[in-house]
Structure 1
Amino acid sequence: MTKRASIASLIPASQDIYRKIVFEIADGIIGIDDHGIIRLCNPATESIFGWQSGELLDKPLEVLLPERVHGFHQRLVAGFQAGNTEARYMGQRSATIVGCRKDGTEINLGITILRTSAAGAPMMVAVIRDISDHVRYQNDLKRLAETDSLSGLLNRRAFRASVLQSVSANVAKFSSMAIFDLDGFKSVNDRFGHDAGDDVIVRFSEVLRTSIRATDVAGRWGGEEFVLFLPNLKANEAIAIVERIRANFTSVDFNWDGHLAANFTVSAGLAFAEPGFADFSDMIASADKALYDAKRGGRDKLVSIEMQQEALAS
């Protein structure tokens, strides 16, 4: 038997191997023609997207994608078709491709696409993996790394990063920074115990979280100090929010076994900057100075400072 004959004898066997791989692999394999119509679909794809056997054939690829990403996905595919590479992983380190199951639920996907042909016609084949569990795990790790475990608010590092991100999207807007300090917190731990102190921190965090807008950024600065960034508000509007937080916390009743009901207060310093955002550290320092004045002035009050443009430019 010649070498050419022995190779030819393996072709049918190799086709059976490839067919077995396609139909039994856990990853989805899907092929579309140059019009975006599904011409190849293995059972894993149907399982990933919740379709019955054979239902996806001859349907447009868009049935597997949320409507909001149709345009984006079409641009990705067009860019790949116009390029020179034969295979490409779709998505980015910070974002995954989002798919849509038949019931409308969304899933995160890892997709590798490659260029090929079938029966003389061009075809794109995608190997698809449902990575939703991995994405949820990564998001949980990120949330744990950014969140103060007791208060549930952003920790110091994450607060700063979130404020800077907010600032970059609203460069020419008004902005305010507030720092809160729980009055007499050491005496809470001394009189009622550290569990009571934790309870006070948790309750203030709840008041803070429920008194602000979705665009505001709140965090625990450390110990009994909390920070709040208020973008796109004029001075009187920012003052109203901080005063509401102060008043809402003062009205919270604390009832611990073996002790009479108690109420606590909070002092706040607020720094307000005109359009043309001040440096993060400058705003924190100004808010901290205002807080010091509030403490020195008797506590349970708000002191605000308007940062002058001359100071910002210096």
Structure 2
Amino acid sequence: MTKRASIASLIPASQDIYRKIVFEIADGIIGIDDHGIIRLCNPATESIFGWQTGELLDKPLEVLLPERVHGFHQKLVAGFQAGNTEARYMGQRSTTIVGRRLDGTEINLGITILRTSAAGSPMMVAVIRDISDHVRYQNDLKRLAETDSLSGLLNRRAFRANVLQSVNANAAAASSMVIFDLDGFKAVNDRFGHDAGDEVIICFSEILRNSIRGSDIAGRWGGEEFVLFLPNLKSKDAVAVVERIRANFTRFDFNWAGHPTANFTVSAGLAIGTSGYVDFSDMIASADKALYDAKRGGRDQLVSTEMQHEALVS
């Protein structure tokens, strides 16, 4: 048998192997024509997106995508079609492609697309993998790295990063920085125990979290100190927010076995930025000085200061 004859005899077997791979692989494989109509899909694709056997054929690709990403996805596909590369991974390091299952739920996808042809007509084939579990895992790791474990608020590093991002997005807006300090916190640990101290920290964190807007940024600065950034808020409204938080905490009753009901107070320093961009370190320093004045003045009070200068964000 010649070498050419030997290769020819393997072609039918190879086709069977390829067919078996396509139909049994866990990754979805889908083919669309140049009009974006699904002409090929394997069982894994139907399983990933929750469709019954054969139902996806002759449907537009958009049925597998949330409506909000249709335009973006069409641009990605058009760019690939117009390019010179034969294969491409869709998405970026920081983002993934979002798909939509038949029941409307969304999933995160890793997709590699390639150009080919079928029966003389151009076709794009995509290899699809559901990476939702991986994305959730990565998000959990990121959240753990950015979150204070006791309070559930942002830690110091993540607070700074989030504030700088907010300031860059609201360049012309006034903003305020607050530092809170739980009054006499060392005495709480000494008198009631460290578990009680943890409960006080958790309680104040909940009050803080439930007293602010979605655009506000709260964090635990360390120990019994907490920080709050208030973008796009007039000075009188910032003062009102701080006083509401202080009042809600002061009214809270702590009940521990063997002790009478206890209430605690909190001091606060508020730095009000009135000129748009304000340096993060300057705002923290001004709020900290105002807090020091509040503590030195007898505690259980708010001291505020206005920052008139304008500086670059750092």
Shorter chain as denominator, the TM-score bin is: over 0.9
CA distance in 2, matches of 1:55, 1:3: 44
Q: Are 1:48 and 2:48 counterparts?
A: yes
Q: Which residue of 2 aligns with 1:30?
A: 30
CA distance in 2, matches of 1:51, 1:312: 54
Q: Is the 8 A contact 2:112 2:128 kept in 1?
A: yes
Q: Are 1:191 and 2:205 counterparts?
A: no
Structure 1 residue 276 displacement after superposition = 2.4
CA distance in 2, matches of 1:28, 1:310: 55
What CA RMSD, in Å, does the superposition of the two structures yield over aligned residues?
Answer: 1.1
Q: Which residue of 2 aligns with 1:130?
A: 130
CA distance in 2, matches of 1:221, 1:183: 15
CA distance in 2, matches of 1:115, 1:37: 15
CA distance in 1, matches of 2:263, 2:7: 87
CA distance in 1, matches of 2:72, 2:239: 42
CA distance in 2, matches of 1:296, 1:110: 57
Q: Which residue of 2 aligns with 1:106?
A: 106
Q: Which residue of 2 aligns with 1:94?
A: 94
Which 5+ residue runs of structure 1 have no aligned equivalent? none
Mapping of 1:117-196 within 5 angstroms?
Answer: 117-196=117-196
Letter in 2 for 1:213: R
Per-residue CA deviations over 1:20-56 (Å, capped at 9, x if unaligned) read 0000000000000000000000000000000000000
Q: Which residue of 1 aligns with 2:58?
A: 58
Q: Which residue of 2 aligns with 1:12?
A: 12
CA distance in 1, matches of 2:89, 2:311: 50
Per-residue CA deviations over 1:121-174 (Å, capped at 9, x if unaligned) read 000000000000111111111111110000000000010011111111101100
Q: Which residue of 2 aligns with 1:212?
A: 212
CA distance in 1, matches of 2:187, 2:6: 89
> Helix, strand or coil for the counterpart of 2:139?
helix
Mapping of 1:145-294 within 5 angstroms?
Answer: 145-294=145-294
Per-residue CA deviations over 1:235-273 (Å, capped at 9, x if unaligned) read 111111011101110000000001000000000000011
Give 4+ residue runs of structure 1 displaced > 4 Å after superposition.
310-313
**Which deviates further from its counterpart, 232-241 or 302-311?**
302-311
**Which deviates further from its counterpart, 134-143 or 217-226?**
134-143
CA distance in 2, matches of 1:24, 1:235: 63
Q: Are 1:71 and 2:71 counterparts?
A: yes
CA distance in 1, matches of 2:292, 2:23: 69
CA distance in 2, matches of 1:23, 1:269: 65
CA distance in 2, matches of 1:174, 1:276: 5
Q: Which residue of 1 aligns with 2:80?
A: 80
1:288 to 1:30, Cα distance in 2 relative to 1, 3 A = same
Structure 1 residue 9 displacement after superposition = 1.2
Structure 1 residue 234 displacement after superposition = 1.0
Q: Is the 8 A contact 2:277 2:311 kept in 1?
A: no
CA distance in 2, matches of 1:241, 1:275: 20
CA distance in 2, matches of 1:255, 1:265: 16
CA distance in 2, matches of 1:8, 1:128: 32
> Helix, strand or coil for the counterpart of 1:309?
coil
Q: Is the 8 A contact 2:275 2:309 kept in 1?
A: no
CA distance in 1, matches of 2:312, 2:249: 33
Structure 1 residue 275 displacement after superposition = 3.1
Give the number of aligned pairs: 313
Structure 1 residue 279 displacement after superposition = 0.8
Structure 1 residue 310 displacement after superposition = 6.6
Letter in 2 for 1:196: A
CA distance in 1, matches of 2:206, 2:310: 37
Q: Which residue of 2 aligns with 1:300?
A: 300
CA distance in 1, matches of 2:113, 2:258: 67
Q: Percent identity?
A: 87
CA distance in 1, matches of 2:256, 2:121: 76
Normalising by structure 1, we get a TM-score of 0.98
Q: Which residue of 1 aligns with 2:3?
A: 3
CA distance in 1, matches of 2:104, 2:116: 30
> Helix, strand or coil for the counterpart of 2:145?
helix
CA distance in 1, matches of 2:239, 2:232: 13
CA distance in 2, matches of 1:17, 1:101: 29
